[in-house]
Amino acid sequence: MAEGINVRFAGELQRFIQDRVSDGEGLYSSASEYIRDLVRRDYEREEQRKWQLLRNELKPGATADEAAFVPLDADTLISQAKARRKASGK
């Protein structure tokens, strides 16, 4: 069962929320619906931010000249890692 979260708003924030959910005039039918929508939008913004960070990290490799790439294979990488580990005494 999902755990609920209770939040209380007072003063100006409470009035602001009530304006969003007012009878027939607001965009939302309840304060809970409004808050859920805000959280979903924030979640989506965060996911978009993470994807943009990943795209920014990958862009240099995606746009690099193929001549800059060095061929590698798994066996060579594993052997090199084992040699470094052995040399460091771990």
Residue 71 confidence (pLDDT) above 70: yes
pTM over 0.75: no
Position 27 scores a pLDDT of 85
User: For residues 27 and 24, what is the distance between their CA atoms, to the nearest angstrom?
Assistant: 8
Q: Look at residue 22 in the predicted model and tell me its pLDDT.
A: 79
Summarize pLDDT for 18-67 with one digit per residue, the tens: 888 977 677 899 999 999 999 999 999 999 999 999 999 999 988 999 88
Distance of alpha carbon 6 from the chain centroid: 24
For the chain, the structural domain boundaries read 10-65
pLDDT of residue 45: 98
Is the Cβ–Cβ distance between 21 and 28 less than 8 Å? yes
